[in-house]
Amino acid sequence: MDVENPQQVIVAEGLAKSFGDVVAVEHVDFTVAAGETVALLGGNGAGKTTTMAMLLGLLIPSKGAVRVFGAHMVHERHKVLVRMNFSSPYVDLPRRLTARENLTVYGHLYGLHGVARRIDELIDDLQMAAFVGRPMSTLSAGQGTRVALAKALLNRPELLLLDEPTASLDPETGDRMRGYLEAFQRDTGAAIVLASHNMTEVERLCDRVLMMRAGRIVDEGTPAGLIAKYGRADLEQVFLHIARDGEVLAG
């Protein structure tokens, strides 16, 4: 937690990242509290993935700083990585290993006690028994997404960063996974940061939404609050309004 405010899991201050002349993120400030689920929303190139990479310490900001559980993510990330986890369909697990082998390796990397027992729990919870013994290269996209989610939940993280967590899942499985994430958060009080293009998912899971455009947070609020503020039918309409360079309303 942040040393000045023990409730703050993430404190991002003045974050900026440029790649040469290209500004990916600038003037990004936000906090995430324990037990809170926050969505990063924005069109392609809005800066969500760059922001998430800086939260994870995989990317060093050009300006500003990120503190997670009070640790500076440029220099002190190894103090807190064991309390975090991450899932993204754009970052693979080794395809020659089976799902169980991958989870075993990561279970040891996270220093779990009772790795096999924890994996068995997740196999039951995420209904992976039918394919956990198969190499990742033979799994469908949806099955791979479930394994990636299981890897992200292995260490019962206090901070979970999810990039498109239910991408490639059929509606029934996606709904089940969202239910599981809700229960996980209820049981553990974890903070979740979510980047998703599924607005129904965001409305259901998230307490707060950060709307990004051209590398900046242009608006934020609760899903219901943003819908009301923009006078739209749902969050998707708000997203489209902002993503298409619509006026950002004050207040």
Give residues in contact with other proteins (CB under 8 A).
17, 19, 49-50, 53, 56-60, 78, 81-82, 84-86, 88, 90-98, 101, 104-106, 108-111, 135, 151
In the structure encoding, which two tokens stand for residue 14, read together? 């003045």
Strands 71-72 and 63-68: antiparallel
Q: How far is the CB of 58 from other proteins (least distance, A)?
A: 5
Q: Rounded to the nearest whole angstrom, what is the least distance from the CB of residue 54 to other proteins in the complex?
A: 9
> What are the tokens at 90?
């754009």
Our CB check for other proteins shows the closer of 153 and 227 to be 153
Burial class (CB in 10 A: 0-12, 13-18, 19+), 235: buried
Residue with smaller CB distance to other proteins, 95 or 186: 95
- Minimum gap (Å) between residue 111 Cβ and other proteins: 6
Closest distance to other proteins from the beta carbon of 78 (Å): 6
Distances (CA, A) of 184 to 33, 114, 179, 188, 209: 16, 19, 9, 6, 20
Tell me the closest approach of the beta carbon of residue 86 to other proteins, in angstroms.
4
Which residue number, 159 or 227, has a Cβ lying nearer to other proteins?
Answer: 159
Of 49 and 198, nearer to other proteins (C-beta) is: 49
Task: Considering the complex, state which of residue 64 and residue 221 has its C-beta at the smaller distance from other proteins.
Answer: 64
- Which residue from 86, 89, 87 is spatially nearest to 168, judged by alpha carbons? 89
CB of 91 to other proteins, least distance (A): 4
Contact criterion met (CB below 8 Å) for 39 and 202: yes
Q: How far apart are CA 205 and CA 137, in angstroms?
A: 30
* Closest approach of other proteins to the CB of residue 67, in Å: 17
Is residue 49 within 8 Å of residue 86, measured between CB atoms? no
Report the residue number, 84 or 153, with the smaller CB distance to other proteins.
84
Q: For residues 90 and 144, is the Cβ–Cβ distance under 8 A?
A: no
What is the DSSP secondary structure assignment for residue 70, as one 8-state letter?
A: T
Residue closer to other proteins by CB (options 1, 55) is 55
Q: Which residue matches tokens 């922001």?
A: 51
